[in-house]
A = this chain, B = another copy of it.
């Protein structure tokens, strides 16, 4: 075999592995989201993927590793979808709006991903919650940076509370997405605009200085 032929053959061998891994992960996300982690069987995943069990074990490991790989992939896809919707040239409110739109679009189109990511991983706990915590941290940092930019572009010092409010918004988005799974009659744009209206006025007040204060009792 010439060097060229060998390279080609290696490339040919590599491609199937990536394709197979994707097939396996697609199947695993489907099966995990349908049956839950405990009731999902490797036999079912093998059948849906059209890939033998020994090959799944060789490529992605046993059930726990496979589930962790699903969470990692789906979390990355979600973060990429949000990043793709937002550019720093947009006004801060539009950045948040496009970020929320992208988030709810992803959840709406990838309901199985969200079920695995959020409901299944949360209810399984253990090692999986670390993958989730890492994703949440990235999301919180993203929103925090947006709020800081929003203040500094207006020539103001960012409030001390930006990170805390970013954490609040991420929690609100997760919780609302979960509510939405049980109310599919509401459109993704509507859900996004509800949350936008809820928080933007509040974020805006960070900047304009309008504050709510308790009435004296």
Q: Decide: A201 and B191 in contact? CB cutoff 8 A.
A: no
Q: How far is the CA of A97 from the CA of B97 in the complex (A)?
A: 27
Partner of A202, one of B125, B186, B199: B199
Residues of B close to A167: CB separation below 8 A: 175-176, 178-179
Q: Which residue of B lies closest to A120 (CB)?
A: B125
Q: How far is the CA of A140 from the CA of B183 in the complex (A)?
A: 15
Which of these binds chain B: A17-25, A45-53, A66-74, A203-211? A203-211
Residues of B close to A165: CB separation below 8 A: 194, 198
Q: Decide: A202 and B191 in contact? CB cutoff 8 A.
A: no
Residues of B close to A191: CB separation below 8 A: 164
Q: Which of A99-156 contact B (CB under 8 A)?
A: 122-126, 129, 140
Partner of A125, one of B126, B204, B205, B206: B126
- A1–chain B nearest beta-carbon distance, Å: 51
- A116–chain B nearest beta-carbon distance, Å: 13
Q: Decide: A210 and B201 in contact? CB cutoff 8 A.
A: yes
Given contacts A164-B176, A197-B211, 11 further A-B contacts (CB under 8 A): A93-B215, A94-B214, A122-B122, A123-B126, A164-B191, A167-B178, A170-B175, A171-B175, A171-B178, A172-B175, A174-B175
- A and B contact pairs by CB, cutoff 8 A, 26 listed: A94-B217, A97-B214, A123-B125, A124-B126, A125-B125, A125-B126, A140-B179, A161-B194, A164-B176, A164-B194, A165-B198, A167-B175, A168-B175, A168-B179, A168-B194, A168-B195, A171-B172, A171-B174, A171-B175, A171-B178, A174-B175, A193-B212, A197-B205, A197-B206, A198-B202, A200-B212
